Structure 1
Amino acid sequence: MRTRLIEPSTEQILRFCAVSPIERVYLEDVARRAQGRFAAVAGPEGELHALCHLGSNLVPSGSGCGAFASLAAKSGARMIIGESGAVTDLWDAARRKLPKPRLDRPGQPVYSISQKPGPGETGLRAATADDLDLLIPSCAAAHFEELGVDPLRRDPEGFRWRTRAQIEEGRSWLWVEGGLIRFKAEASAWTPAAVQLQQVWTDPPARRQGYAARALRDLIRLLLDGTPTVCLFVRAENWPAIRLYESVGMQHVLDYRSVLL
């Protein structure tokens, strides 16, 4: 029998995400901000078994995510990303209808921390509008390292707008000394249960001097004042970043997979 898809309510999405708040932090954030379109598979009592955000990225979660294959084929999405098993279910069901992937990244570790590390005693602060021109090149370089696409060539105005929006929403932090970014990071998702960080970056001339570890400790301490957990995910082969996250006390809690189309 064919699985019937529904457009879930915000309440249904929030109940689903509460079961696994670290894995589903992005889905919950998008639902709370009413910024995305979702499809879901629900049981007879209305409880969701599977959920998928439908946008430039497809983000599946739950069991039986192959049910979203037809929607994936029509989506024009650039990436499928999320918990490893959910992405695999969707990709296996939809791969014949989608472009050949330019990158497939299984086993991307997700790290989290709920206890404050020791202070780093840095100049970490929230970014302001005056930092925009300094941040854009570093944000673009981090984006290129992560996804292999230069956003300043693909969509410069859109990328500038998104970087400014992160600053205005209080989702961007940095530590600058002598015109160099010793550390920067943004929040890609933020819910009452967790903050998910992205684009952790140090300008190349300032690397290998311990700045990132110190500043990350200070950022985690700041965020844990108001949110129970800080999390992020990383490419499996990015050993310098993995060593950084483990050095501040973050623990590997699950795995994501990314299929870049």
Structure 2
Amino acid sequence: MNVFVDSLVQASGLDPRRGAEVWGYVEKGEIEALCHAGGNMVPVGADEAALRSFAAYALRRGRNCFQILGPARAVEQLWTALEPQWGPAREVRDDQPFMVIDGPPTIAPDPLVRAVEPVDLSILYPACVAMYTEEVGVPPQTGPDGTFYRSRVAELIRAGRAFARIEDGKVLFKAEVGSVGTGVCQIQGVWVDPSRRGEGLAAPGMAAVVEMARRIAPVVTLYVNAFNTPARAAYERVGFRTIETFATILF
């Protein structure tokens, strides 16, 4: 199962009153594919028939998500069916390498990267907003999930899944483990202070995050925009390898 969907199902079950649904595509009495439908729309294990079914159901329900994400082939086929009514998208990112590491990092970790404490929320939160705005193109306060963004950051801190290098009350590097599934977790929100980029903070910082993340789950994943060459190079230095291509449709 997709680690994002697995994480949400483990945390919230399948109760739609908790903010999202998981749709199933059934053939011969067996569930063959899933689609998480909440703020994110995420197809899982879906072939063409399942994607057509999910698209038809989504069109009847109307758009509630702010992005569609997942394996590129599935997202592109889903979007082909949805675009006439849901389009235009604000942005289509159709080449996002999905990367994984299942062993120790291949470079030394930054010893100054640590788990963020609850007392550090006011320091970390502005960096999270800056990362989100840079990555998504709009600040979280204006998106459908904006009301909950600060509480989500606080939740990750309490869970021991937010990591940063903080000096003189300022975040220089940060990343979070956003999703935890069965034996696998996913890193999100990787960010380096713009004034410190080019100094080599990202790769050792990520090595430290991988070490700590692997205490949560032994397999660590992430996905990145193909055009973000510096980030991809940093992840490869740490030992990440690309195993699939993702895509994201942003509204």
Q: Normalised by the size of structure 2, how large is the TM-score?
A: 0.88
1:140 paired residue number: 129
- Aligned residue identity for 2:209: L
CA distance in 2, matches of 1:183, 1:142: 11
Q: In the TM superposition, what whole-angstrom CA distance separates every residue of 1:73-130 from its partner, at most 9, and x where no partner exists?
A: 3132211111111112211122212131110010210111011024324122111111
Q: Do structure 1's residue 27 and structure 2's residue 5 form an aligned pair?
A: yes
2:84 paired residue number: 96
CA distance in 2, matches of 1:157, 1:78: 14
Distance 1:153 1:27, change over 3 A: closer
2:210 paired residue number: 220
Conserved 8 A contact 1:182-1:212? no
2:57 paired residue number: 71
CA distance in 2, matches of 1:222, 1:101: 36
Q: Do structure 1's residue 120 and structure 2's residue 109 form an aligned pair?
A: yes
- Aligned residue identity for 1:76: N
Name the SS of the counterpart of 1:240 in structure 2.
helix
Deviation at 1:234, TM superposition (A): 0.6
1:107 paired residue number: 95
2:41 paired residue number: 58
CA distance in 2, matches of 1:167, 1:130: 9
Aligned residue pairs, count: 238
Q: In the TM superposition, what whole-angstrom CA distance separates every residue of 1:122-169 from its partner, at most 9, and x where no partner exists?
A: 122111111111111110111011110112455765322221122122
- Aligned residue identity for 2:237: S
Q: Do structure 1's residue 42 and structure 2's residue 20 form an aligned pair?
A: no
Conserved 8 A contact 1:87-1:258? yes
1:196 paired residue number: 186
Q: Normalised by the size of structure 1, how large is the TM-score?
A: 0.85
Q: Do structure 1's residue 206 and structure 2's residue 196 form an aligned pair?
A: yes
CA distance in 2, matches of 1:248, 1:141: 24
Conserved 8 A contact 1:37-1:53? yes
CA distance in 2, matches of 1:158, 1:38: 21
Q: Do structure 1's residue 257 and structure 2's residue 243 form an aligned pair?
A: no
Conserved 8 A contact 1:54-1:75? no
Question: What percent identity do the matched residue pairs reach?
Answer: 31
CA distance in 2, matches of 1:102, 1:219: 31
Structure 1 gaps, min length 5: 1-16, 18-23
Q: Do structure 1's residue 87 and structure 2's residue 75 form an aligned pair?
A: yes
Q: Once superposed, what is the RMSD of the aligned Cα atoms?
A: 1.7
Q: Which aligned runs of 4 or more in structure 1 are off by greater than 3 angstroms?
A: 152-157
Of 120, 125, 139, 1:131 maps to 120
